[in-house]
Chain A
Amino acid sequence: MDRKCPGSSSRAGSDSGSERGRSVAVESEDDRNVERQETVDRGIGRHYPGEPVVEFLDVRCGYAAREVISSVSFRIRAGELVTLLGPNGAGKSTILKTILGLLKPWGGTVRMFGRAIASTRDFAACRLHMAYLPQIQTPPAVPVTVFDAVLLGRWGKHFAWVRRPHRADRAQVYELLEMVGMADLAERDLRRLSGGQRQRAALAQALAREPSLLLLDEPTTYLDSEAKQDLLERITELHRAFGLTTVMVTHEQLPGRAFDRFLRVEAGQVHDLSHSGGTG
C-alpha cells in the first residue's frame, strides 16, 4: 500500500505521524524551530509524534441534567492508536462527542492539538482535522452512491455550499476506494451494501477528510467476525500508513497487539490499563 496519505500535498499542516516522524529525525534544529513557529502560527492540526493531541483535564460532561463523565483526565499523543474500552453507558461515547465538540463540557479543560478549547469556533477549527466513524447505521433513507458518500467526507475542508468539489477531490475519492477495496462498488447505492461494506465505505469517507485525528465509535458493532477482523486490519493498516492519531471506542475486548494503549472507561472515570505513562 502507498504509505503517503492521498492529498497530502494539499494538507494544511496535517502531515503528522510516522511519515513526519521519519522526516523530523533528519531535520536540523533550525528547521525544527521554523516548523515549531509555523505550528504556533497555524495553531491547530500540526504536531510531532508524541505531542499531545487530545487532553482532558478534570472534564465533566453529560446530557440534560445527567452527568455522565466526572472529573476525567487523560492525554492522547500524536500517532497513538488508543482504545477507549468499557461497558455500555460508561461514558465512552460522551467522551468522543466531547472531543468532536458535539457536547459542551460542563467543567474542566479540553485541549485539542495543544490549544485550550474555549468556544464552538475553536471546535469548528479542530473539526477540520478530525474524522469520525460511527457504529454501523441503518441504511440511509435517501439514495446515495458509495462514491458520493466518500466524497462527502471532504465537506467543510475541501468544498462546502457554493464551493463545489474539484476534479482533485474526485481523484482522491477513487484512490481511497481502491485502498479500502471498494473501487468496483463506487457507483453502487449505499443502501444495497452489506454492513461490512458500508463500514469500509464509512472508513474511506473518514479518511477522505485527510484528518490528523480519527475517532471511531464502536465501528465493529453488528459486524460478523470476518467483517470485524477485516475492518480492524484496515483501520490499523491505515493508521500506520497515514500516521494518524486514532481513538477507538469499543465495549468489547479486541485483539490487543495492534493498539498502543487501552483506556478503561467505567462509571464516568478513565483508567489507563497500559501504564505507559500517558494519562494526564
Chain B
Amino acid sequence: MIAELSATLSIAVVRYALVGMVVAGATFSLLGVVVVSLHLTAMRFMLMHMGLLGAAAGISLGFSPTGGALVLVLTGSLLMGPLGNRLSLSPASISGFFMTGSLAAAFLLLAATGARAMDVFGVFAGNILMLRQIDVIVVIVVGIVIVTVFVVAYREIQLVLMDRVRAEALGVPVEYITGVLYLLLGAGIAVALRLVGALLVEAGILLPGMAALRFARTLSGALLLSGLFGALACTLGFFAAVLLDLPIGASAAAASTLILAASLVLGRVCGVEG
C-alpha cells in the first residue's frame, strides 16, 4: 500500500492535487464559520447558480465556460453587500432573487442558442487531476489572503458576527467587513468549483465550519478547529480516493460529512457542544 502511494505521489499532478486540496481544506474552511454565523447558506447556492449562468453563457457564446463561471461568481459576491444595503434586503432575500434569476437566464440562454445543458453541469464536476502549478499557486494565494484577513481583522470580524448593530455603534466599518467576507467567499467558491466542482465547496467550506461550531468556545477556537477539520477531510478524502480508486471530490465530501456526523454525535454524547 505504501509503495502504491509513493508511486502515485511521485506524479507531479497528483502532488499538486494533494497540496491544492489540503491548503483549500485548511484555509477556505475558515469561511464556513462565517457562512454559518451570518446565515449565508443561501448566498452560497446563489453564487453556484451564478456560476452556472456564467458557464451557460460561455458555452452558448463561445468563450471559456469556467472563465464565465468564475467571473459571475466573483461579480455576485461583490454585488451582494452593496445591493443588500441599498435595497434594505437580507442576504437570504438577495440570494433568492439572484439564484432564481440566474437559473432562469441560464436555461433561456441554453434554449435560445441550442447548447447542451449537460455540458454546463460538467463545469461543476471539476477535475483536480487537471491541476497545473499555477492553479495550486492560486489556491495558496487565496488561502493566504483568507488567513491574513482573519488575523488582521479578527476583533472586527468577531464584533460583526456577534452583533452587527453594536458593531456599527462602536464605529466598526460593518459594510466593508461583510463586503470583504462575501468577496472571499466568492473567491473560495470560484476556486473550489474550478478544483473539484461543487462537492468540495461543501467539503472544504461549509461542513468543517458547522462541525467546529459544535465544539468551540471562542471564535479563534472555531476558526482553528474549522481549518483542522477541513484539512483532515480533504486529506482523508484524497488518500481514500487514491487507494480505493474513487472520485476525489466525492471522497473529500464524504469524509467531511463523516466528521460533521461524528461531531454531532460526540457533542451530544459528551456534552461538549460549544
Contact = CB atoms under 8 A, between A and B. Distances in A.
A88 B37 CA distance: 29
Interface string B20-46: 000000000000010011110000000
A108 B152 CA distance: 39
A17 B153 CA distance: 35
B29 to A, nearest CB: 15
B4 interface: no
Contacts of A132: 166, 169-170
Contacts of B217: 143, 145, 189
B146 to A, nearest CB: 17
Nearest to A165: B155
Given A100-B169, A134-B166, A141 B152 contact: no
B262 interface: no
B171 A159 contact: no
Contact of A156 (B165, B170, B216, B274): B170
Interface residues of A, number: 30
A178 B155 CA distance: 23
Interface residues of B, number: 30
Nearest to B39: A141
Nearest to A202: B166
Interface stretch (A40-48, A51-59, A147-155, A225-233): A147-155
B171 A143 contact: no
A143 B274 contact: yes
Contacts of A142: 33, 37, 158, 161-162, 213, 219, 222
Nearest to B172: A155
Contacts of B219: 142-144, 148
A137 interface: yes
A164 B258 CA distance: 38
Contacts of A209: 170
A152 B171 contact: no
B169 A127 contact: yes
B119 interface: no
A165 B155 CA distance: 10
Contact of B170 (A127, A140, A148, A161): A127
Interface in B135-171: 152-153, 155-156, 158-159, 161-163, 165-166, 168-171
Interface in A183-216: 189, 205, 209
30 contacts: A64-B88, A127-B169, A127-B171, A141-B38, A141-B39, A142-B213, A142-B219, A142-B222, A143-B216, A143-B218, A143-B222, A144-B162, A144-B218, A148-B218, A148-B219, A152-B155, A152-B159, A152-B162, A152-B170, A153-B170, A155-B155, A155-B159, A155-B171, A156-B172, A160-B155, A161-B153, A161-B155, A189-B274, A205-B166, A209-B170
Interface of A: 64, 100, 102, 124, 127-128, 130, 132, 134, 137, 140-145, 148-149, 152-153, 155-156, 159-162, 165, 189, 205, 209
